[in-house]
Amino acid sequence: MEHSSLAGYSILLVEPNPYLASDLGRALYGAGGEIFISLTTIDALQFADTAGLSGAVLNYTLSIKDEHRVAARLRELGVPFAFCKEIGRSEAWPHVPVLNEPFGASELIDLLRRLLDPTSASATERSRRERKPASGVKEAEVGSPP
């Protein structure tokens, strides 16, 4: 992944595990993004309201209620987002992209690139994705929240 693939984008990473949040945050920063890391729902909501976000990745193992509060606020603000989860797609957000755990930093960066700029994928990448989803990514209409 090139260093500037996320340049110009401000990204919220909601991850309750501080070690994983740090590792993923460094990877996203290394790809050129301005990264806001939140370990809690309260911080995530504050960043959503004040940081001028381009996009977000939500990883929740805490509660479905927390997931819905942050996702609903991001949708209200028009901020595209994706989920990273251990188990499949959120029933309440069927059109939101999901990156299934375990995943690598390059998969997360690729998901964010497609989420933030759906035209960035080459014709070959689009053709391949239409036939078979990328490893760890369930097919979804990127950028089309319910």
Domains along the sequence of the chain with CATH: 10-138 (3.40.50.2300)
The residues, any chain, with a CB within 8 Å of residue 99's CB and separated by 6 or more, are: 57, 82, 83, 84, 85, 107, 108, 111, 136, 137
- Give pLDDT tens digits for 3-30: 568 999 999 999 888 998 999 999 999 9
pTM of the model: 0.75
> Does the pLDDT at position 87 exceed 90?
no
Residue 34: count of CB within 10 angstroms of its CB: 16
45 pLDDT more than 70:
yes
State the Cα–Cα distance between residues 19 and 34, nearest whole angstrom: 19
Q: Which residues contact 82 (CB under 8 A, 6 or more apart)?
A: 55, 56, 57, 58, 96, 97, 98, 99, 111, 112, 115
pLDDT exceeds cutoff 80 at 79: yes
Pairwise CA distance, residues 121 & 131, whole Å: 14
Give the pLDDT band of residue 132 (cuts 50, 70, 90): very low
